[in-house]
Amino acid sequence: MTIEESKGAIDKGDITPSDLTNDLLQRISGVEEKLRAFVTVNSEEALIQVKMAEERLKKGGKQALQGIPIAVKDNICTEGFRTTCSSKILENFVPPYESTVTRKLKESGYILIGKTNLDEFAMGSSTENSAFGHTRNPWDISRVPGGSSGGSAAAVAADMCIAALGSDTGGSIRQPAAFCGVVGLKPTYGRVSRYGLVAFASSLDQIGPITKTVKDSAILLNIISGHDPYDSTSANLPVPDYTSVLGESIKGIKIGIPKEFFAKGLDSEVEDSVKKAVKELESLGALPVEISLPHTEYAVAVYYILATSEASSNLARYDGVKYGLRVEGKDLLDMYMKTREAGLGAEVKRRIILGTYALSSGYYDAFYKKAQQVRTLIKQDFDKAFEKVDAIVTPTTPTPAFKAGEKTNDPLQMYLADIFTISVNLAGVPGISIPCGFTSNNLPVGLQIIGKQFDEEMILKISYAYEQSTNWHKKKPPL
């Protein structure tokens, strides 16, 4: 069931929140061993939350998510409930406060069904960098679900929750959504508060919904968006009702097709599905226009300088003193080193080293400053494109889900999995991935639609029109 369907069924009294939660917990215990989508399943407390939701319903409560079970990526702080970032260094960390997004979900009456698996500190594209086991793709368990929000995407695709939250720094919502055949939306930078999201690269991180349908994406975005005094980078702008634009015609809407995204390295079946999707949009009245985003080729390089620089600074807080793991040593330095040696995985260490290097004196101007300058050029590419078009349509990923283990020994290959999503974070604009087909071996393909800053309405409207005229989102993995 979707949020929309389960809300309808609960309101009519066809099902109760207890039925729904118990069914999902049963489903989780049936498939979790295969998929490992969760770090922690909230089996006990969820049932208490359900009782409270049912009490409120009895009193005529009308909250948007009254009794609807939603999974949350395990890098989003939930008060009193373990939040690990899939890292040993936070294995036993229980946040003393609630993130703004989960506070808003709580106020809407949601049930926290569990915390989902991710690449450690959201660094990765396959959920293989988790310290607590690899998540598998429900469409083919020999393959990865994408990452870093692989647990959330797999859980939604495999019907282990009604919907989920993920976070996206360079593609971590959209890329796993594409690999798992679900809808993933990265909002405009500043649309959603980052308070309580464990920081990876603060100038890029955004929280967003991973859902079964576009409507559900709009419903969750309505709830989590808005200004937050606890996050000074959250924008003080009104939040429109994102569901109100769904169903509007897309006639005459100009969609840009960037030629740089249909180049060497793009899988032919992915290309085929995306081109057919563009034709479908055209038959719905949209007007495709060829555009150019000339600095696309630098996006991955720029990202891996800026994201690692920010990460090296953000992760300095895990030092064995303030919170998290501590391994005693013979003196302070020894304690720091032993703690970080034991607590952090290889990819996280690699990034701290890369970022520290890029920020060090002598290299700062050559790497960090240069990367910031090129980031501006990438942003200007989008500004120029959006003078001509209303949205941009691309593949979400260059290939469908790859095999587990295929790229773990080659970080550069892994980094290229986000080649089509990363520039969207660098530019700070919103992007969504929706299902647009399947390969010959039954793997989902994602279509990415990118919008102007704070124009989530446009990409949701286009996505909804496409979804209503196709059936890809209705297909279920053969688990």
Indicate if 440 belongs to the active site.
Answer: no
Among 6, 66, 148, 399, binds ligand GLN (CB under 6 A): 148
The neighbour count for residue 398, using CB atoms within 10 Å, is: 18
Handedness of CA 95, 96, 101, 105 (dihedral sign): positive
Minimum separation from the CB atom of position 136 to ligand GLN (A) = 18
Q: 126, 148, 423, 463: which is the annotated catalytic residue? A: 148
122 scored as a contact of ligand GLN (CB under 6 A):
yes
Which of these ranges, 109-117, 166-174, 228-236, 391-399, lies near ligand GLN under the rule CB under 6 A?
166-174
Which of these ranges, 57-65, 170-178, 261-269, 403-411, lies near ligand GLN under the rule CB under 6 A?
170-178
How many Cα atoms are found within 13 Å in the side-chain-facing hemisphere of 17? Answer: 26
Residue 214 or 348: the one with the smaller Cβ distance to ligand GLN is: 348
399 scored as a contact of ligand GLN (CB under 6 A):
no
Residue 69 or 446: the one with the smaller Cβ distance to ligand GLN is: 446
Please work out the total of residues on this chain that contact ligand GLN, with binding judged by CB under 6 A. 13
User: Which residue number has the CB closest to ligand GLN?
Assistant: 172
Confirm if 92 and 55 have CB atoms less than 8 A apart: no
Confirm if 160 and 32 have CB atoms less than 8 A apart: yes
Residue 7 or 73: the one with the smaller Cβ distance to ligand GLN is: 73
Confirm if 443 and 143 have CB atoms less than 8 A apart: yes
Structure tokens at 339: 């703690």
Residue 381 or 418: the one with the smaller Cβ distance to ligand GLN is: 418
3-state SS, residue 183:
strand
Which residue(s) pair with 287 in the sheet? Answer: 254
Residue 246 or 348: the one with the smaller Cβ distance to ligand GLN is: 348
Tell me which H or E stretch contains 102.
helix 100-107
Indicate if 172 belongs to the active site.
Answer: yes
Q: 87, 99, 152, 172: which is the annotated catalytic residue? A: 172
Among 87, 108, 172, 448, binds ligand GLN (CB under 6 A): 172
Which of these ranges, 97-105, 120-128, 241-249, 276-284, lies near ligand GLN under the rule CB under 6 A?
120-128
Tell me which H or E stretch contains 72.
strand 69-73
Minimum separation from the CB atom of position 119 to ligand GLN (A) = 7
CA distance 370 to 442: 42
Q: Is 366 exposed, middle or buried (0-12, 13-18, 19+ CB in 10 A)?
A: exposed
Among 157, 307, 459, 460, binds ligand GLN (CB under 6 A): 307
Tell me which H or E stretch contains 354.
helix 346-359
Distances (CA, A) of 218 to 43, 73, 202, 392, 465: 28, 19, 24, 19, 13
396 scored as a contact of ligand GLN (CB under 6 A):
no
Minimum separation from the CB atom of position 446 to ligand GLN (A) = 15
Residue 7 or 375: the one with the smaller Cβ distance to ligand GLN is: 375
Instruction: Enter the DSSP assignment of 195.
Output: T
How many Cα atoms are found within 13 Å in the side-chain-facing hemisphere of 365? Answer: 2
Residue 148 or 463: the one with the smaller Cβ distance to ligand GLN is: 148
CA distance 52 to 58: 10
Angle between helices 370-388 and 299-314 (to 10 degrees): 130
Residue 123 or 155: the one with the smaller Cβ distance to ligand GLN is: 123
Which of these ranges, 165-173, 222-230, 294-302, 399-407, lies near ligand GLN under the rule CB under 6 A?
165-173
Minimum separation from the CB atom of position 245 to ligand GLN (A) = 27
Give buried/exposed letters for 39-67 (b at 16+ CB in 10 A, else e): bbbbeeebeebbeebbebbeeeeebbbbb
123 scored as a contact of ligand GLN (CB under 6 A):
yes
206 scored as a contact of ligand GLN (CB under 6 A):
no
Secondary structure of the chain: what % helix, strand, coil (to 5)?
45, 15, 40
CA distance 208 to 122: 14
Q: Which residues contact 199 (CB under 8 A, 6 or more apart)?
A: 205, 310, 314
168 scored as a contact of ligand GLN (CB under 6 A):
yes
Minimum separation from the CB atom of position 148 to ligand GLN (A) = 4
Residue 200 or 454: the one with the smaller Cβ distance to ligand GLN is: 200
176 scored as a contact of ligand GLN (CB under 6 A):
no
Which of these ranges, 18-26, 76-84, 168-176, 323-331, lies near ligand GLN under the rule CB under 6 A?
168-176
Residues that bind ligand GLN (CB under 6 A): 122-125, 148, 168-172, 200, 307, 418
Residues catalogued as catalytic: 73, 148, 172
